[in-house]
Amino acid sequence: MPMNEIMLIVGTRPEIIKMAPVARTLQAKSIPLIFVHCGQHYDYNMSQQFIEELELPKPDYGFEVKVSSPSLQTGRIMAIIGKVVNKVKPRLVLVEGDTNGVLASGLAALKMNVPVGHVEAGLRSFDLRMPEEHNRRLVDHISAYLFAPTENSRKNLEKENVWGKIFVTGNTVIDAVMQHLPIAERKSKILKKIKFDEFALATAHRAENVDDLVVLRNLVEAFVEAPIQIVYPVHPRTQKRLRQQKMWKKLTTSKNVQTLPPLGYFDFLLLMKKCRMIITDSGGIQEEATAPTLRKPVLVTRLSTERPEAVRSGFAKVVGVEKEGILENIKRALIGGFSFSKFSPYGNGDSAMKIVDIVMKEAS
């Protein structure tokens, strides 16, 4: 096998979405691509569904890593990706984001002396309770190429004296929204299933939120008592916790809340387009809401964010995890308490093109 391919590794829902524009651009430029799914997410609706919808190639190497311990998950992924990298000997491994799979894959590549390119480098929440904060810091320090979405993320990297080369590229999630929303508007039938005319769109899955009984209860009560009806696609981690903590019934029988399984990207994009506001602890959704074709207010149900650009540009507000604070901010958003800057701080949809151009120049 010649040492010439770019290996693009994904493992979870947001990585597939954010890497889709990169994969597409590599293919359009006929750059040999080895596509790997490390298997951190494995349910159809968290994984394969996105590969099909976004018309990505079938992974050349695909895995399922069904373990509940984060260390076992990280270790297993490192072992399997190590073998794949050793076999293929790519000239560069590209990873995206801050999951355990990203850290494991990056380390596996490094151990095989293959350079790592980190897409979405330099984000910092400065909240060390978050596994993502550990992962993103570590991956940034082992990467040869750092694709920082904004000047702020570049500054974070410079302050930490990372040894790789830094490039400011925007975030590929804006490319993903621009490329897929028009298709979603044609194809998605989700609105026929939604019971409410006007609604807030909610998601929750951060470990420090949903694995904490008090926070989980606050979120459920806020959704049930909200002064606007809530459409809520539930992440599998959260469904598991809600059932364990006997809150599932309260949520699913509430007339104020419509729960749904995790949705495909087209359905979710359309709900983002149609909702009054978004209530979420997701990272990617904070960015997507700033896209020129979406422009929605986001209440971030967390204590911090690694996306301060979304806050500074008026799209997002960190509202904490107390019920009263969340409800107060929903009321404020309903009376128009948000004003947005003109442009998305995450670019205008040409991020994948910039990344691929840099890859071609630097790693050829």
Query: Which residues of this chain interact with ligand UD1, rule CB under 6 A?
Result: 12-14, 40-43, 46-47, 68, 73, 98-100, 131-132, 205, 236-237, 240
Q: Which is nearer to ligand UDP, 17 or 34 (CB)?
A: 17
For residue 298, which phi and psi values (nearest 5 degrees)?
-125, 125
Catalytic-residue membership of 235: no
Q: By CB under 6 A, how many residues form the interface with ligand UDP? A: 15
6: phi then psi, degrees, rounded to nearest 5 = -95, 125
- Regarding 346 and contact with ligand UDP (CB under 6 A), the answer is no
Cα–Cα distance between 81 and 75 in angstroms, integer?
10
By a kind-dependent CB cut-off of 5 to 8 A, residue 288 interacts, out of ligand UDP, ligand UD1, none, with ligand UDP
262 binds, among ligand UDP, ligand UD1, none (CB under 5 to 8 A by kind): ligand UDP
The answer to whether residue 354 forms part of the interface with ligand UDP (CB under 6 A) is no
Site for ligand UDP contains 13 (CB under 6 A): yes
The interface partner of residue 229, options being ligand UDP, ligand UD1, none and the CB cut-off 5 to 8 Å by kind, is: none
Q: Rank residues 46 and 277 by Cβ distance to ligand UD1 and give the closer one.
A: 46
Name the token pair of 321.
């995890």
The DSSP code for 291 is S
Supply 314's token pair.
């008026």
DSSP 6: E
| Least distance in angstroms from the C-beta of 228 to ligand UDP | 19
11 contacts ligand UDP (rule: CB under 6 A)? no
Give the tokens for residue 41: 């997410």
Report the C-alpha gap between 64 and 118 in whole angstroms: 23
d(Cα 31, Cα 257) in Å, to the nearest integer? 46
**Residue 203 site contact among ligand UDP, ligand UD1, none (CB < 5 to 8 Å, cut-off depends on kind):** ligand UDP
Long-range CB contacts for residues 73-79, cutoff 8 Å, separation at least 24: 73/40, 73/100, 73/101, 73/104, 74/100, 74/101, 74/103, 74/104, 75/104, 76/104, 77/11, 77/38, 77/39, 77/40, 77/101, 77/104, 77/105, 77/108, 78/104, 78/105, 78/107, 78/108, 79/108
How many angstroms separate the CA atoms of 309 and 170, rounded? 11
Site string for ligand UDP, 279-298 (x = CB under 6 A): ---xxxx--x----------
**Tokens matching residue 231:** 């459409």
Q: From the candidates 37, 118, 180, 205, which is the catalytic residue?
A: 205
Q: Which does 263 bind (CB under 5 to 8 A by kind): ligand UD1, ligand UDP, none?
A: ligand UDP
349 binds ligand UDP (CB under 6 A): no
Using CB under 6 A, pick the residue from 152, 203, 229, 305 that binds ligand UDP: 203
Residue 65 or 359 having the CB closest to ligand UD1: 65
Closest CA to 96 of 199, 204, 171, 178: 171
Q: Which residues are annotated as catalytic?
A: 205
By CB under 6 A, name the binding residues for ligand UDP.
13-14, 17, 203, 205, 233, 262-263, 265, 268, 282-285, 288
